[in-house]
Each structure stands twice: as structure tokens, then as C-alpha cells.
Structure 1
Amino acid sequence: MALIGTPIQPFKVDAYKEGKFVTVSDADVKGKWSIFFFYPADFTFVCPTELEDLADNYETFKKLGVEVYSVSTDTHFSHKAWHDSSPAIGKINYYMLGDPNHVLATNFQVLRAGQGLADRGTFVVDPEGVIQLIEITSEGVGRNAVELLRKVKAAQYIAAHPGEVCPAKWEEGEETLAPSLDLVGKI
């Protein structure tokens, strides 16, 4: 995965959001923090638990200036049908991007060869459209929105404070580190 620090590639896809079909492109992502949250397929098992967890935390993401884009290789029509039929998915107010042509899954390198499905991939993209964080999990391992929030806050902090880094388990308001020769061997 050589995508860290690289700009997202151009795309234009159809999406479902809050009862409407909309088009989303790479131009819409620029200027704000974004999360691309890939999952294998609609109407499955772990996926709705993850997407519901994101929905439960969506307002907190928005307060941080972060937009959420869930992505599967299903169509935007399938997303609407799932949204209308599942209590968990019915909570979603963020964008549900359809990627039936595999443009996004290919651009973000999460397309499963020969299957047409995306891996569980999370990408945090900064306002310049540059990928700052990547997390890929196996099929049966669900992700945690609260941990993702922590990582987004850390990415935003280091973007706003050049020369500082966030140590393991860093939480907002805790001390950071300023890498220097003086710290070598003292941590």
C-alpha cells in the first residue's frame, strides 16, 4: 500500500444520501477532511454493524469538519433499498457511494481480484485530497468508529501542528512529542 501521502485519483460516482440520489466526485471531497469507508456488500452481516456505528457517530465526525463516504461495489439503487429495509442502515445520513464499475475500489487498491467486492478499507483524506491514514481489515473483523474518531483527531492535530507527533493511545488534549535528537533513546 503505497497510497499514504498520495492524492486521491479522479472519480465520479452516483450515491444515495438522505432520500436522494446525488453525484459525488473527487472535486466534492477537496477542502474538507473525508473518510472513505469501503465494505464488501450491502445486505450482509458485519457491514451493517460497522455502518450503524459510523451513523451513531456521524454528528461527531461532522463537528470535526469530516464528511463520511461509505463505499461498496453495489449500486446507489441497492444502497437505497438497503437503507429503506434495514433499521441499522436506516440510521445513515452520510453518503453511500455506489461503485459498480469498481473505479473507487481500484483507485484505493481494495478491489478483491476476481470477486468484484471491496475489502474492508478505511481511508482518511485531508482537505488537499491527500490520503493520511489507511486501515485494512480482514473479512470478519469489524471496525470501530470511536477509534476512527481518535485517529482522525490525531491526523488533524499533526496537520495543524507541524513538528509534533501523536504517540500511541493519544487522546485529544494529551501531550504530543516533538521528535528531536534529544529524544533518541529516551522514550
Structure 2
Amino acid sequence: MAILKIARMGHPVLGRPAAAVEDPRDPALRQLADDMIATMRDAEGTGLAAPQVHQSKRLLVFFVDAGRARAHAHGGGPDDEGKGEGAPLTVLVNPDYEALSEEKDESWEACLSIPGLAGRVPRYWHIRYWGTDLEGNAIEREATGFHARVVQHECDHLDGVLFPQRMTDMSTLIFTSEMDRYAEGEARAAASRPRAAS
């Protein structure tokens, strides 16, 4: 396995739709998937799409640790159900998804292709996603919370979309080095808001 170079925002490969994979069983695709997994782990990422490693193919990999999912959960879901939901290491070929609810959750996202920046992005809370594995077997799952967010983020890469394009409030696009300070400011502002009488 090799550690691949990650494309950064501004590279043309990140701004165009990726091509469908014709044969999921192609040994070269398996090698690419293995290298993507190694690259994702080396960069301490949660997911990686093939365009991020300069390959315009509809292929992505991800792993959602349940503890990390809980740490990234920030309100918005129905009864907060599934906030700590993890997902196994997954390779998806030709993936797609659909929203199972119109409800969205706005939370922080970062990206290996936009190092040093994070922003608050609205995403569907509850989705169904599908694709195939590297043997051509169908994969179909439902996901909520952070798991759903990761899948949507990676699928966006396959359509040439980066997370800032999904943001509704660009004032929340900040350097990750400032996140603690930003969170402290949000907490102070929330504490000073008048509370409704019960």
C-alpha cells in the first residue's frame, strides 16, 4: 500500500464530477482502494474519495468510529437518536444516497483537501445510501447523524462539490486552530441569551 498525495482545493480534479466505475472487480481499483485506506489513516481522516487522490472515479472509503461520532454530535436530530452510530471500514463503488427525512442538522466539517479550515454545514440527518463493494456485491444501509454526514460529504466529492459550497453562513468558515476559541464564544453567547419563562 502507498500513501497518496491529496489534492487541495483549487485543483481541477476536485471541481468536476467523477466517472462511473465500469468494473468494481478490476484489480487496479482494489489497489487504489487499499492505497486510499492507507492514505486516509495516515492523514487521520474519516473518509476519502478518489478525486481527492487525483483519480476521477466514483469510489470512496470511510470509517466512522462510534466514539468520534459521539464527539461530533451537535444537536438537531430527532430525539438525538443514532448520534453515536459508527460504521465499519467501508469501500463503496458508484455510491449514491437519498434523504429519508427533510430534517437537517448543521454541524462542523473539515476536509483533507482543505487543510486547516472548518465550517458549519447543513446535512440531511437521516439517509439511505448504496453502492457496491469491490466484488460487485450490493451494499445498502441507512445512516443517521455523523455517519450520514460523512457519506454525504464524500459523495459530494464525487460530484465536484466541496463543503464550503454547502455552507449557508460563511462567517463560520474558520481556521481549525481557532475552533476552541469559537466554541467558547458560542457558549458565552448561549449563556447570555434570555430564557423563555416556563
Superposition TM-score tier, normalisation by shorter sequence: under 0.3
* TM-score (normalised: structure 1): 0.26
* TM-score normalised to structure 2 length: 0.25
Where relative contact order (Cα < 8 A, 6+ residues apart) is larger, the structure is 1
Higher helix share: 2
